[in-house]
Each structure stands twice: as C-alpha cells, then as structure tokens.
Amino acid sequence: EKQGFRHFMLKEIYEQPSVVRSCLETYLQPNWHAQTNADISPIDLGLASELCENVDYIQIVACGTSWNASMVGKYLLEQLAGIPTMVQYASEFRYAPAPMLPNTLTIGVTQSGETADTLAALEMEKQRKMGLESPYDARILGITNRPESTLAHMVDRIINTQAGIEIGVAATKSFTAQLMGFYFLALELAYRRKNLALDKLEGLIKGLRELPAQIELILEKQGQQIEELAHEFADTQDFIFLGRGINFPIALEGALKLKEISYIHAEGYPAGEMKHGPIALLDAKVPVVAIAMPGLVHDKVLSNAQEAKARDARLIGVTSIDDSEARSTFDDLLFVPHVDELLSPIIAVVPLQLLAYHIAARRGLDVDQPRNLAKSVTVE
C-alpha cells in the first residue's frame, strides 16, 4: 500500500499535487471569468446563505496542525474577506471561552473529525448559545477530512477537504487540503461581501490552479537535495523556524513536523520576535530555517535572518528568489516556484515536510508512528 515509498508519510507528501487538484475540481466553477461571470461566485462550497451572511466575526477552534492551518485561515479571512477572526486552541477555549460577540460564525477544524478537545469546545459553544436569540446564534461550520465523523454530524455544514485517508501520524496532505478549504472559504466570503476586486479574485483563482504543477516541481526538483541536506542534521538537537505574516504559521508547522517525528527540539517564531528573547539561543549548533517568500515582509525576514547569521547560525532559506542577496544570506537554499504571497504557505510548507521526513528517516525512527502520539486524540 505504500506504493514503493518507504513510509506512508512520504507517500502522503507526494500525493499533495493530486489532493490539491481534486479540491480545485470539486470547489471551483470551471471557466469562471470575472468579466463574463461576475454575477456568480467562482467558488462552489454549497454553503447556505444563512451560514455566511451577516458574519461580523469568525472564531475557529482546532488543535495541532489543524490549528496551524487555521492561523493561515485567519490571515486569509481577514485580508481577503475582511472579517475579524480569532483562532483558539480547542483545549484552551473549553475552559476560558472568549466573551460572546454578535453575528459570529464558529468553525471547527479537525482532520479526523474525532479530536476530543475540538468536539467538546464546539459542543460547549452550542450549549452556551442555546436559547439565546439571534445575533448570538451558534452557527457552526466544520472543516474536516472525514465526512462520516462525529464532527460532521454535529455541525450545520462541513467543507470536506477530501485528502483521502492519511495514515502517517504527522499530518501532511490533510494540512494542504485544509489550506485549500480556507482559500475557498475566504474567497467565497470575499465575493459575497464584495470585499475583493474581481480581477484580484480571478488572479488568485488562476494562481490556485497552478499550485498542483508547482508542488510537483518542488517534489521533483527538491526531493533529492533535501534528503542530502537532512543527512547533515542527523545529530542536531535544536532547530528554529522563522516566518512572518501569512508564513508565520508555516514556521510553526515546520517546527511541529520536525519535533513530532524526529524528536528534535524545534521552535517556530514570527521572525520579528527573535530579538525579544529567542535570539539568545542561537549559536553555530542551532540551524535556522527562514521562510523568505517574496511579498510584503520578504525584506524584513531577510534582515531577521541576517541577525541570526551574525550569531553563527547555519541558515536555510525557503524562497523563490534566486539572487545574490539570497545566495549570500543563506547557507542552503530551498528554491520553490514563484507564487502570489497569499498562496505561498501551500508552497513553502512542502520543503519543510520533506526536511522533517528525511531527518527522521535518516535517524532511523518510526516516522509513521512516532512515540507517544496517536493519529487521532480522542481523549482530553
């Protein structure tokens, strides 16, 4: 069943182009053009208008990788649809929910649809709003990979991320599929609220359609290089991942992937926070991975990376800019195709998944079943 791959995790990383492709086929209107089809939405999530009209706030509950995807989602919902969005750890929300705000859409994000904390947080939210009149209605949307799950039965509607069964404990293809879910949701809400110029919307949809081929390119071109690079970190004890803006959650995800399967201590930080403490950790023994995709914060990330370099840290850059500055800043470059900054998380995460995988595999660890972890955490 591993189809020639050494581990399910690697197979699932390589399935991402087809997962993204199938999301595009399911949720995008074919042949939509801003000029000719302005009166219909380019996205077809089948959401009833009661669910997505009059949404003043969004609150998201999730755990682990699903929480990281939700943080990218927050950025998209705020920047594209213009809706203030809070992301909460389900385990925290359960015992200290934020005060209720009117006209709030709650979203539960869980790959398995069975994570106990996420289900309990959503149940608590339902109870809290029970009997209250609108505008405190408990509208709940689920984003899940399992349409038959407990989550799917308890919410008003789901977005089915349809990544297929994921066996590796480390979430990979289900993460990219969750990101796709958030792109569609943010664009759908942006369209309905007229929050985004139609040509910008069309440009992003065109960009989404190019993603499968671009992910394929990373897998083809980077697979070998990352495997070789990973050999150099078999004995490393600490890693730092830096990102900013929409790629800050990707730094968190890169760190989570690495720690969970390789047992290397890793931390993800917003790059600008380094100088407020974590920079004290840096020396020649602590490699730093910086996500430096072109866009608003590219130069800022680069200067944060240079500060790390000044502390002798080995610098690995994930970027689509191949220029002399990138080459002189980074010791190792993981090149990825150029995409719109808003789409860059889905491209930047792939080399980080591969890096975590190859480091863990090189260490001879049980990549698919890491110690102390279960695929689905069904207890509190």
CB of residue 170 vs ligand M6R: minimum separation in angstroms?
4
Least distance from ligand M6R to the Cβ atom of residue 138, Å: 20
E strands in 227-296:
238-243, 265-270, 288-291
Give the binding-site size for ligand M6R (rule: CB under 6 A): 16
Instruction: Name which position in 91, 111, 214, 319 contacts ligand M6R (CB under 6 A).
Output: 111
Q: Is 70 in the site for ligand M6R (CB under 6 A)?
A: no
Sheet (strand 104-110) strand order: 85-89, 57-62, 104-110, 139-144, 157-160
Told to check if 171 binds ligand M6R by CB under 6 A, we report: yes
Footprint (CB under 6 A) of ligand M6R, residues 22-61: none
Q: Which is nearer to ligand M6R, 321 or 377 (CB)?
A: 377
Pick the binder of ligand M6R from 66, 104, 236, 353 (CB under 6 A).
66
Smallest distance, Å, CB 203 to ligand M6R? 30
Nearer to ligand M6R, 41 or 111 (CB): 111
Pick the binder of ligand M6R from 16, 41, 65, 106 (CB under 6 A): 65
In whole angstroms, what is the distance from residue 159 CA to residue 270 CA? 29
Instruction: Quickly count: other Cβ atoms within 10 Å of residue 296's Cβ.
Output: 10
Distance between CA 374 and CA 11 in Å, rounded?
Answer: 19
For residue 87, the 8-state DSSP code is E
Q: Specify the long-range contacts of residues 360-364, CB closer than 8 Å, at least 24 apart.
A: 360/258, 360/261, 360/262, 361/6, 361/7, 361/10, 361/230, 362/230, 362/231, 362/233, 362/234, 363/234, 363/262, 363/263
Q: How far is the CB of 53 from ligand M6R (least distance, A)?
A: 28
| Nearer residue to ligand M6R within complex by CB, 8 or 330 | 8
Residue selected from 118, 161, 176, 319 as contacting ligand M6R according to rule CB under 6 A? 118
Q: Among all residues, whose Cβ is closest to ligand M6R?
A: 64
**Cβ 7 to ligand M6R shortest distance, Å:** 14
Catalytic residues: 375
Which x/- pattern, by CB under 6 A, does the window 141-170 give for ligand M6R? ----------------------------xx
* Strand ranges in 118-264 using DSSP code E only, listed in sequence order: 139-144, 157-160, 238-243
63 binds ligand M6R (CB under 6 A): yes
260 binds ligand M6R (CB under 6 A): yes
Smallest Cα–Cα separation from 94: which of 127, 72, 64, 65?
127
Nearest to 121 by CA among 130, 109, 104: 109
Tell me: does residue 115 bind ligand M6R (CB under 6 A).
Answer: yes
Which residues contact ligand M6R by CB under 6 A? 63-66, 110-112, 115, 118, 169-171, 256, 260, 376-377
